[in-house]
Structure 1
Amino acid sequence: MFEKPAFSSIKTRFCPSPTGYIHLGNVRTALFSALLAKHLKGCFLLRIEDTDKARSDEVFTHALIEDLRWLGLHWDEGVEVGGEFGPYHQSHRQNIYDDYYERLIAMKMAYPCFCTEAQLSLHRTLQQKSGKPPRYSGACRRLSETEIQNKIAMGIKPTLRFQLLENETITFVDMVRGEQRFESNDLGDFVIRRADGTAPFMYGNAIDDALMGVTHVLRGEDHVANTPRQIAILKALSLPVPKYGHIALIVGPDGSPLSKRHGSRSLRALREEGFLPLAILNYLSRLGHYFGHDQFLSLDELAAQFKMESLAKSPAKYNEKQLLFWQTQTVSQLSDNAFWEWVGPSIQSIVPENKQHEFVAAIKPNVQFPLEVKQWAEALFAELPSFNEQQEAVIQSAGKAYFSEAIIALEAHGKDAEKITTHLKEKVGVKGKALFMPLRIALTGHEHGPDLGVLFSLISPKTMKRRFERGVY
């Protein structure tokens, strides 16, 4: 028998199902749960809810563990860390669930249900057409023991339903939304064991939270209606009930649920694109939570300033520009060594060793992703690709005389950017954009970037001359 444990300290949890790569909504739930635990000096637990055999995949379990660690969200208890309340994969906890199933059956709080999905779907449709909330009718609640045994003998595998008390009001104080009230008659009896014997979310999630000593549950507002059902299960079994807080969902700019068409992608995809962990953390921590400022914060600082009362009740709108803003801020916070490590060996191999520090100092303020760093490395130290149509127009507009004078100035003044531009201004009679843009494009293939003087110092005179000659011949 598994007895309820006693707890005193604060414990939050994140309990994903490994059915795909972890997406931004789940990442934010994990982040808020971790920040709350860290803020309250509590324990952050990671549990894997993998009882859905058809959809769960060990590949995704390993991926989410790797991605969370890359993000910097380290858990104090749970998968691969251990603890006294394991196992931490639900697929390994069937004997625990079975024990509590037997208790509920003995208490006449659960009964087998033989209704087919087609029957249930038809009944829900009829209820909705008559303006009633869709809920289970309780048809199998009234089966006699003989009827139950006859159906089992026919080979019909039943689910197990929890029997809610009638005419009962279930209340709880949501940490985000305040008092919530639900009438048991509106909820209906619900499935707590699938026909294959495994535990669905409603049951396993509640049992595990109680037995693992979870004190504070943060999750999306789409779970609000699940909470009274889970409270009913825990109270029936005399298990501790955690505090629940339901955070506003993330939506797209148009107010619809966040999806790929809004630019949403998995944490794995963002990582592969070159987003930095603290960029994602600084953005997501402000998506539905108000800090009162836009200062760049470390994970410890985010936790120190995290407040439950600052969680928003209205939907949080995803904004790609804001995510990019925090990426820029994070790149600027990197030390030169961290920046160099971030860009990776394929880019490091392009940049001459004696130019590394100068290159990093010049490029870091002008890039957001390693791909951009690679483009600059190739522009400065390899061969330029062909100009695009707009760039070719700038080169043609500057004219052969412009680049002939640029070559003369280079040979006379070396890589002195100020003297070269002064020479061009006097000899060709150009200024402003017409003076600087052809130089920049001819030398780098970019319309914008570091100061010309910095670029001149990075490119060899031989390379500069060869690139100016493209404008002459």
Structure 2
Amino acid sequence: MRAMLKTSIKTRFAPSPTGLLHLGNLRTALFSALYARRQRGRFLLRIEDTDASRSRSEYEARLEADMRWLGLDWDEGPGMGGDAGPYRQSQRDAIYGGLFDRLLAEGAAYRCFCSQETLAASRKAQLATGRPPRYPGTCAGLDPAEATARAVAGESCSLRFRVTPGIRLPIGDLVMGEQVFASDDIGDFVIRRSDGSPAFFFSNAVDDALMGVTHVLRGADHISNSPRQVLLLRALALPEPHYAHLSLIVGADGAPLSKRHGAGSVEDLRVQGYLPLALLNHLARLGHSYPDEQLLDLAGLAEGFELTRLGRSPARHDTVQLDHWQRLAVALLDERALKTWAEDACTTVPESLRRDFLLAVRDNSLFPADVATWADNLFGNEPRPSPDACEAMNGAPRNLFEISAAMVDEHPDDFRAFSSAVGQAAGLRGKALFMPLRAALTGQTHGPEMARLYPLLGPARARERLLVAAKSARD
């Protein structure tokens, strides 16, 4: 029977600080935070750093910085406190030790002295006969007093949880539906390693219970962990959370998500210039549906988040879709935020022109690198024309650029007046007029409105570029 749960909702994100935060883990954190906010509950951050050989404090710091940058602040955990701490598993050894002793005393766990070589040989033999590899129970029948004496004498041993054979274990899942497991497929499993550290199954499950977590949202690759953890919690008479296993994220080709799908770390995406709102809106729709496709802030994403809208099929990450949300997020930036986002890309732009420049190129810039390209194009050295621009200039009348250069001073700030005068003098209009002029002035046949770019160039630079184009036409 399910143990009684607290009525208030509490979710958690429990990363291991062994590397940078990636999109898969970030989506888990996001969904957990959204569900807590939607239910007016609490969102907890727990650092699972029991693997001392791989855990790094700098990864924890960078993970927390990523989450704060995204607005995924936690209500309880490192830096926030709470009454269920400590919130780093490396600081909870005394808690785990008491629970290990209790399981040993009650006969629910036993010491295992099998070496890694012995276990590997057993697995190999089982696989060779077509059987799934399960611990054969070699140490399950050891006399507890003998096992204790061997451990006290210094013999290396792990601690295994004793699984009752021949039972079926149904476990509810709020996304995938009820899952039924056979205890014979599980076997007695390690809950404390030979080095004394707790195994994931153990520390993850008991911390959820002791910290009052009511709903565990995690990847579908953790479904097989559920029966072990439920058995542990029942043996310890601890409350079981509701599980909601999330569909895995794959690339556009259906393969597991990797860097080749454009799925770098969150830190990489941040450095590239992706905005928090773009990442949040993209990830919130990977395996979850919203009634409409408008850009939502974090409160809006939370308000529309429902477990019933989570899908079971793998969710496809597509960089094109992420860039769609990025474009919408950039368009939504106010002037101050736009300046901050693109500040390092504007070093070649005169301070007096930066506001007008950023407003001019915003719609054609997904990232600060795009802003830098336009800054260099307008204020750097003479732009190198693209192939399309060369074609446009080569197809123009040979005297067009000389006529244009002579008229710059008559209309130094008004491109419409300037192009109209040039068109009348050269007998051109429409694309035949505007495309060569854009190509000569910017080196491109597409981009921001010329009405905004032309005043930024200034008459001297515009004239110089038109004369270069005229010389190229003569040559």
Partner of residue 453, structure 2? 455
In the alignment, structure 1 residue 443 sits paired with structure 2 residue 441: yes
Residue of structure 1 in register with 2:353 after alignment: 355
The Cα offsets for residues 359-394 of structure 1, whole Å up to 9 and x where unpaired, read as 232222221111111222232233334335554454
Per-residue displacement from partner, 1:67-126 (whole Å, max 9, x unpaired)? Answer: 000011000000111001110000000010000000000011111112233332332333
* Equivalent-residue separation in structure 1 for 2:444 and 2:124 (angstroms): 61
Q: For 1:402 and 1:118, how far apart are their aligned partners in 2? A: 83
Aligned length: 469
Distance of 2:454 and 2:55 partners within structure 1: 55
From 391, 403, 408, the counterpart of 1:410: 408
What SS is found at the alignment partner of 2:160? Answer: strand
Indicate the larger mover: 258-267 or 76-85.
258-267
Aligned to 2:366: 368
1:235-274 aligned at under 5 Å gives the runs 235-274=234-273
Q: Report the CA distance shift for 1:6/1:246 in structure 2 as closer, same or farther (over 3 A).
A: closer
- Does 2:329 correspond to 1:330? yes
TM-score (norm 2): 0.93
Does 2:387 correspond to 1:384? no
C-alpha distance in 1, partners of 2:397/2:384? Answer: 17
Q: Could you tell me how far apart the structure 1 residues matched to 2:87 and 2:313 are?
A: 33
Instruction: Between 382-391 and 71-80, report the one with greater CA deviation.
Output: 382-391
CA spacing shift, 1:143–1:429, aligned 2, 3 Å: farther
Would the alpha carbon gap of residues 447 and 117 (structure 1) be closer, same or farther in structure 2, given more than 3 Å must change? farther
CA displacement 1:114-169 (0-9 Å, x = unmatched): 22333323323333343333221111112234763675478541111111122222
Contact 2:416 2:451 in 1 (8 A): yes
8 Å contact 1:400–1:471 — kept in the other structure? no
**Hey, what's the Cα distance between the residues in 2 that align with 1:40 and 1:393?**
59
Q: Where do residues 93-132 of structure 1 align in structure 2 (5 Å cutoff)?
A: 93-132=92-131
**2:139 aligned counterpart, secondary structure:** helix
Determine helix, strand or coil for the equivalent of 1:53: coil
The match for 1:73 is: 72
Could you tell me how far 1:24 is from its partner in structure 2?
A: 0.3
Q: Within 5 A, what are the aligned runs for 1:177-256?
A: 177-256=176-255
What amino acid does structure 1 have at the position aligned with 2:456?
Answer: L
AA of the residue aligned to 1:49: E
Q: Which whole-Å deviations, capped at 9, do the CAs of 1:408-442 have from their partners, x for residues lacking one?
A: 22234434323433344444455544422332232
What is the letter of the counterpart of residue 325 of structure 1? H
CA 469–216 in structure 1, closer or farther in 2 if over 3 Å, else same: same
3-state SS in 2 of match to 1:191 = strand
Cα-Cα RMSD: 2.2
Q: 1:6 and 1:305, CA in 2 relative to 1: closer, same or farther beyond 3 A?
A: closer
In the TM superposition, 1:9-88 aligns within 5 A as 9-88=8-87
Mapping 1:286-301, distance limit 5 Å: 286-301=285-300
CA–CA distance in structure 1, aligned partners of residues 154 and 389 of structure 2:
74
1:275 alignment counterpart? 274
**Structure 2: gaps (5+ residues):** none
1:399 shift after superposition? 6.2
2:353 is aligned with what amino acid?
K
SS at match of 2:171: strand
Are the counterparts in 1 of residues 385 and 444 from structure 2 also a CA contact under 8 Å? Answer: no
CA contact (8 A) 1:109 1:163 kept: yes
Q: 2:14 & 2:411 partners in 1: Cα distance?
A: 65
Worse-superposed segment, 233-242 or 430-439? 430-439
Bigger shift: 413-422 or 52-61? Answer: 413-422
Distance 2:412 2:253 in 1: 55
- Deviates further, 115-124 or 97-106: 115-124
The residue type equivalent to 1:290 in the other structure is S
Q: TM-score, normalised by structure 1?
A: 0.94
Moved more, 113-122 or 143-152: 143-152
CA distance in 1, matches of 2:20, 2:232: 31
Q: Which of 117-126 and 71-80 deviates more?
A: 117-126
**27-36 or 197-206: bigger deviation:** 197-206
Tell whether the 8 Å contact from 2:412 to 2:455 is kept in structure 1 after alignment.
Answer: no
Quote the Cα distance in structure 2 between the aligned partners of 1:232 and 1:146.
Answer: 25
For the residues of structure 2 that align with 1:398 and 1:137, how far apart are their CA atoms?
83
Work out the CA distance in 2 between the residues paired with 1:266 and 1:78.
23
Alpha-carbon distance between aligned partners in 2 of 1:438 and 1:125, rounded to the nearest angstrom: 72
Letter in 2 for 1:291: Y
Counterpart amino acid of 1:25? G
* Whole-angstrom CA distance in 1 between matches of 2:400 and 2:410: 15
Rounded Cα–Cα distance in structure 2 between residues aligned with 1:393 and 1:114: 78
Structure 1 unaligned spans of 5+:
none
| Residue 340 of structure 1: how far off its partner (Å) | 1.1
- Between the aligned partners of 1:141 and 1:84, the Cα distance in structure 2 is 38
Q: Distance in 1 between matches of 2:408 and 2:144?
A: 98
What is the CA-CA distance between 1:31 and the residue it aligns to?
Answer: 0.1
Q: Secondary structure at the match of 2:11?
A: strand
2:383, 2:442 within 8 Å by CA — same for their partners in 1?
A: no
Q: Which amino acid letter does the alignment assign opposite residue 438 of structure 2?
A: R
C-alpha separation between the residues in 2 aligned to 1:154 and 1:91? 26
- Offset of 1:178 from its aligned partner? 1.4
How many Å separate the matches in 1 of 2:287 and 2:256? Answer: 15
Aligned CA distance change for structure 1 residues 199 and 153 (closer, same or farther; 3 Å): closer
Identity %: 45
